[in-house]
Amino acid sequence: MQYEILKLTDRPEIKERAAQWFHEKWGIPLSAYLESMEEALSGGDSVPQWYVAVEQDRIIGGLGVIANDFHDRKDLTPNVCAVYTEEDRRSRGIAGALLRYVCEDMKAKGIDTLYLVTDHTSFYERYGWEFLCMVQGDGELDMTRMYIHRSI
């Protein structure tokens, strides 16, 4: 099956569906996704932005770019967030394609450095991300890994 990557700002009609999908995957309130997506669609700054991979009419992956992904290092911005691929579509390069797409899109907007927090220890390196430091997640006891991606 072929899929395509859609940018919310190019396809505003997918906003409600995309917000619901991210909400179901991450448990963040639906209203938070809708608010961030509305901000993206208002055409202001380059951040926030939202992207989904769609196969036929099904969202099979997605991610966003926000100022801060709920951690104490407010200086490390913007952050790729909510990276997710449906379990039955994993190991097919979808997350990698989304990550490449977002890095290229942000670079086109003049943003060549992105950050990402994750518990994964070897996944993002495959896509040009480097471990940067540990950060404290908002309301979390354990530290979380922070990665950086610099577009050349």
CATH code, domain with 142? 3.40.630.30
For 101-120, how does the pLDDT look when each residue is reduced to its tens digit (9 = 90+)? 999 999 999 999 999 999 99
Q: Which residues span the domain enclosing 30?
A: 3-150
57 neighbors 15 (Cβ within 8 angstroms)? no
Report the domain count for the chain. Answer: 1
124 pLDDT band, cuts 50/70/90, is very high
- Count CB-CB contacts under 10 A for residue 122: 7
pTM: 0.94
